[in-house]
Amino acid sequence: MKSVDVAILGVSGTLGQEYVKLLSRHPFFRIRSVTGYTTVGKTLREVLEEDVPESIGDLEIQPTQPKKVDADIVFSPLPNDVARKTEEEFAEAGFTVVTDASPHRMDPDIPLIIPEVNPEQLSLLESQRK
């Protein structure tokens, strides 16, 4: 399968750093763009608290604007107060936006996907296989 180019908005925040960890190890995603507000112009290696994979350490943090992003999918761990406007701008620019924020959670045309809705149900999987 061809890898999908992704961007992470607000990369220097706690959730942004988690996205870096998860997506940098994923076989189908390739981190191509990262954005920030106060860290623009710095590299991931300069900003992140933990080890950064060599392949993305030199990525320069761009302003959080659609025209500065080169990706197919945008992952947004932005806080709610910033997410509403910013995510709308990215969606209007044609990006697929995956978000943790709540402002659009109940919009009828926004799919709500939560793989871990009922984590307690995972314990039943083993017994169902028997």
Which domains can be identified in the chain, with CATH numbers? Answer: 4-129 (3.40.50.720)
Whether residue 9 has pLDDT greater than 70:
yes
The whole-angstrom separation of Cα 52 and Cα 97 is: 24
Long-range contacts of 98-104 (CB under 8 A, 24+ apart): 98/73, 98/74, 99/75, 100/15, 100/76, 101/76, 101/77
7, 12, 16, 19 alpha-carbon torsion, rounded to 10°: 70
CB 96 within 8 A of CB 73: yes
Residue range 88-124, pLDDT digits in tens: 999 889 888 888 888 776 666 555 554 556 445 444 4
